[in-house]
Amino acid sequence: MATQGTPSILFTNTQPQQGFRLLEIPPELEELFTSKDAPALELKSPSAALAHAVADASGQEYVNLCTPTQTYRIRQVMSSNSLHILRPSLGQISKADIKVVEDEAGETGTLNLPDEAVTAIAKCGSTLELHIPPGGFSAVPFLEKSLALYDRRVGDDDDGDVAMDESGEIGLVEIRNLRDQVCADIPVSAVQCETGWMEICAFVDERQKVCWRPSARMRVNVWKRMMEGALLQGIDLEKQFLVGDLWKSVLDDGDDSEPPFPRGLLEAVVRRLCVPDERPALADEIKWASFDKAEVTKWVGETYLAATAPTVSSAIGRSEFLRAWKDCLPESWRDEVALPKLPQGAYKSPDPTTVFYVEPSQRQQVSKASTASSATAAKAKTTRNWHELLKTQTRR
pLDDT tens-digit map of 169-200? 678 889 899 999 999 989 999 999 999 999 99
Give me the pLDDT at residue 112, please.
Answer: 55
* 228: three-class secondary structure by DSSP: helix
Q: In this structure, which amino acid lies at residue 86?
A: L
Would you say 74 and 29 are in contact if contact means Cβ atoms under 8 Å apart? no
What pLDDT score does 122 carry? 86
Give the predicted TM-score (pTM) of the model: 0.79
Contact partners, residue 82, CB within 8 Å, separation at least 6: 123, 124, 125
Report pLDDT for 108: 56
162-183 b/e with 16+ CB inside 10 Å = b?
eeeeeeeebeeeebeebbeebb
Cα dihedral 176/178/181/187 (nearest 10):
-60
Distance CA 50, CA 53 (A): 5
Beta bridge partners of 12: 119
Residue 101 DSSP symbol: T
**Residue 177 host element (H or E):** helix 172-183
Q: Tens digits of per-residue pLDDT, 95-113? A: 545 555 444 445 555 555 5
**Contact between residue 336 and residue 293 where contact means Cβ atoms under 8 Å apart:** yes
d(CA 349, CA 155): 34
Which residue numbers in the chain have pLDDT < 50? 96, 101-105, 155, 157-166, 367-387, 389-390, 394-396
What was the pLDDT predicted at 16? 83
| Main-chain dihedrals φ then ψ at residue 127, nearest 5 degrees | -130, 160
pLDDT value at residue 11: 74
Q: What is the pLDDT of residue 384?
A: 44
pLDDT at 82: 79
- Is the Cα torsion angle 31, 32, 34, 36 positive or negative in sign? positive
Map residue 262 onto helix, strand or coil: coil
- State the Cα–Cα distance between residues 328 and 189, nearest whole angstrom: 35
The pLDDT value recorded for residue 196 is: 96
Helix/strand/coil for 169? coil
